[in-house]
Structure 1
């Protein structure tokens, strides 16, 4: 039995029903199916493409990072906004929900370890994981699951990390411990220990939200970054070129979104609101461009905090981002 893991209560997946027979009128809540990772008889998905949600109910990293708590409630808020999304994909696409990992009563490392094992199992079962955070500490657990899965199957896999974020999240952790601001330094060290290259690109960086030391560390580790102001003007072609250069030699892409990358008018419900954050439409265009590489293996979106949200705006933005990921990848597979 997986510790601190619970199967999703499917009553949360409810919404409008336009038709019970016309698939073109269906919404996500009518097709999503439960998945129990404690079921030893689970079989590998044998279709072309299946997505599986798993929530990470954690504020531990945000608390250690002295941020605003509330992201542990993010997974259910995002599911609520996803429920009424239209099924803009073929009937044979699989849409599943594997429930949640709770950090209650655990250390951050323990909770991330459990999430890692769940992500690895989903990949083994041929599902595309979509992890619903939780604080952005979600990333280290998620990445460890992807890392473990690939490391068992390939010789020195070249894994690219594409992060949409106002922050580098590469702060030191040896003295004060890991948090929601240290994950990418932890990933760097994990890769170094295993003689793997560290391939990290972050888009949406705010100069006002990162110290000089963090910029220096980014340069030392050859982190690729794009400032928010370089994206905000809407001229994305130079960014596309940089993405091409970054992704061309990569085998796999792990993509993560911290909701504080968005402008606070679009995402008020986050740990660290950004008044000069990005328009979600621009971020969606960049996400689509990364997905076009055909290399994305897993995805998460983090730091949706219902406690500070207004009219579910932040959760709604997260749901549209996930809708984009699902429909874009479905279109690539079924075209």
Structure 2
């Protein structure tokens, strides 16, 4: 049983062009609710995807960032609701609701998130988590690890390495340090690649920490149109000997011109189309086991631009999963 932090999914609404022609359906017409307090039962199709929100910005608050990301899941869902259901008949979409953190007890919220992720994975569903602060990564990782019985390799699109030391409590800047400790304690490999790290957003001490523990990173300043093939090759080399990839995307990796509604805006962030192409290359590896998108903060999101961009990413991710699955079947 989930505890009181768990909230059941709320039905989405939006434009309706038809109630009978599936080719005219939109996402809000095909997303099915899942109650995590009950056994998960469904008829499987080629790809079965479940959304889960993490309504927390306690980690951002502890990290002295701009709060507001707790309302990110609702904002992203609102933008997703009207996407055309072009994923049919290959994909089923489900929504399992939200894990909340209203009382500052982030550690308990992360534990509940891990329980929820594990249950969804055990049922055979692919999870797409909606943040929420990037503290989502710790609970998400633990849930994946529990379901796989091994630590997945991590790819993090982020302006920050998030390897800060844990002083008293964890935050949205400590997760991958915490995950490294978990891997050490369990005598498992810690595989971590951060893409888009900004030199002006990370101290030398954090880069030293990354080097010390064997974390890999690709600096934002080294990512451009001319270097794309090289970057894609670096990612491919990282993936090739890994079993499972957990992909986490912090929206602050993107340029503020495209993603103003984040906890820490980046004037020299990455181009969203280039990030999307790299995400697609990761999906086409066939090793992606779970995904989250964090740090969407509606409080600062003029015209919902960031939420809409993230919703487009999710739409594209699902289409890329279909492409990968269909190519695999031939």
The TM-score, its normalising length taken from structure 2, stands at 0.96
Query: RMSD of the alignment, in Å?
Result: 1.3
Residue aligned with 2:96, SS: strand
Task: Report whether the alignment pairs 1:91 with 2:84.
Answer: no
Task: Report whether the alignment pairs 1:24 with 2:23.
Answer: yes
- Write the distance in 1 (CA, Å) between the matches of 2:183 and 2:227: 34
Count of residues in correspondence between the two structures: 326
- Which residue of the other structure, out of 234, 244, 256, is the alignment partner of 2:248? 256
CA contact (8 A) 1:166 1:204 kept: yes
Kindly state the Cα deviation for residue 106 of structure 1 after the two structures are TM-superposed: 5.1
Correspondence list, 1:291-310, <5 A: 291-310=283-302
The residue that corresponds to 1:191 in the other structure is: 183
1:137–1:45 CA distance, 2 compared to 1 (3 A) = farther
Kindly state the Cα deviation for residue 234 of structure 1 after the two structures are TM-superposed: 4.8
Bigger drift between 201-210 and 323-332 goes to: 323-332
CA contact (8 A) 2:54 2:99 kept: yes
Residue aligned with 2:159, SS: coil
Residue aligned with 2:23, SS: helix
Correspondence list, 1:1-335, <5 A: 1-3=1-3, 4-10=5-11, 13-40=12-39, 42-43=40-41, 46-105=44-103, 107-151=105-149, 157=150, 159-173=152-166, 175-335=167-327
- Write the distance in 2 (CA, Å) between the matches of 1:71 and 1:54: 15
- Write the distance in 1 (CA, Å) between the matches of 2:42 and 2:189: 30
CA contact (8 A) 2:53 2:98 kept: yes
- Write the distance in 2 (CA, Å) between the matches of 1:85 and 1:99: 19
Residue aligned with 1:139, SS: helix
CA contact (8 A) 2:73 2:130 kept: yes
Residue aligned with 2:281, SS: helix
- Write the distance in 2 (CA, Å) between the matches of 1:334 and 1:39: 32
1:85-135 deviation digits (Å, cap 9, x = unpaired): 112223242100000011122511110000000000000011101110110
Bigger drift between 190-199 and 81-90 goes to: 81-90
- Write the distance in 2 (CA, Å) between the matches of 1:259 and 1:242: 22
- Write the distance in 1 (CA, Å) between the matches of 2:106 and 2:82: 33
Gaps of 5+ in 1: 152-156
- Write the distance in 1 (CA, Å) between the matches of 2:274 and 2:83: 21
Residue aligned with 2:247, SS: strand
1:218-238 deviation digits (Å, cap 9, x = unpaired): 111111111112213453100
- Write the distance in 2 (CA, Å) between the matches of 1:150 and 1:286: 25
CA contact (8 A) 2:99 2:109 kept: yes
- Write the distance in 2 (CA, Å) between the matches of 1:72 and 1:158: 27
The residue that corresponds to 1:154 in the other structure is: none
Kindly state the Cα deviation for residue 25 of structure 1 after the two structures are TM-superposed: 1.9
Kindly state the Cα deviation for residue 217 of structure 1 after the two structures are TM-superposed: 0.7
- Write the distance in 1 (CA, Å) between the matches of 2:226 and 2:281: 14
- Write the distance in 2 (CA, Å) between the matches of 1:207 and 1:92: 42
- Write the distance in 2 (CA, Å) between the matches of 1:233 and 1:180: 30
- Write the distance in 1 (CA, Å) between the matches of 2:122 and 2:55: 23
Kindly state the Cα deviation for residue 45 of structure 1 after the two structures are TM-superposed: 5.0
Gaps of 5+ in 2: none
1:8-56 deviation digits (Å, cap 9, x = unpaired): 110xx1112222222222211111111100013x226532211100100
CA contact (8 A) 2:128 2:291 kept: yes
